[in-house]
Amino acid sequence: MALKRIGLIGGMSWESTLEYYRLINRGVQAALGGHHSAPCIVNSLDFAAIERLQSEGRWDETGERLADAALALERAGAEGVILCTNTMHKVADRITRDLAIPFLHIGDATAARIEASGLTTVGLLGTRYTMEQAFYRDRLTAAGLAVITPDAGDRQTVNAVIYDELCLGRIEPASKARYLEIIARLAAGGAQGVILGCTEIGLLVSQADTALPLFDTTAIHAAAAAAFCLGRTTPAQPALQPA
């Protein structure tokens, strides 16, 4: 069969981009068997430059850089684009403004997976931008979901672990324990499941660590990308995707 070529805007961080590439190819191979793999083009950016713009609040500039990256993928022959990070979906509107090919939004894929599970109230973990700003939460609430975020102290912990450890490839048992405590507090506050709303969090905690349903956005988004390559409208994956 003719597979569609997917373009990946990666590097934010490259640790999670590796997971995207692996999961997309595994999804296509699982569907077709044999030696099949996904036609991919990866445009991997220097995260140091993006992180500096984030911390300085220069979101318009990040939007321009990512829009240029998406257009470069389109010119290179990509038939669809995914952005391999949750936080930078803050500038999704700028990325898609001049793009003539489909853009697979991580929030839409995640909301669809949660809706399929039958849950209505979810906790959200991610960078402080994702947890505190409206761009991501509003995408979920528009799909009919109630979203709970950790308190200020827990948000600081979640964010610090992402930037100071996970983005640098550090997996610390103590940080895993803190994350599981935060997940337990979200459950006590009414969360029926928890979104791992940063593409690195799945490197630290997984469904095997808790009975509470976890929605690993890296796995969900990669499944949507594999489905796109296969010409399918929805990923043929379980409703609850282990991290």
Judge whether 85 counts as a catalytic residue: yes
Examine residue 175 and say whether the peptide bond preceding it is cis (omega within 30 degrees of 0): no
User: Which residues sit opposite 216 in a β-bridge?
Assistant: 196
Q: Cα dist. 139→76, 89, 92, 232 in Å?
A: 30, 10, 12, 23
Catalytic, out of 40, 84, 167, 198: 198
**Distance between CA atoms of residues 113 and 117, nearest Å:** 6
Rounded alpha-carbon distances, angstroms, from residue 192 to 145, 196, 220: 11, 13, 18
- Which run of H or of E encompasses 9? strand 6-10
- Of 17, 85, 127, 217, the catalytic one is 85
Per the annotation, the verdict on 218 as an active-site residue is no
The whole-angstrom separation of Cα 208 and Cα 123 is: 18
3-state secondary structure of 80: strand
Q: Which residues are catalytic?
A: 85, 198
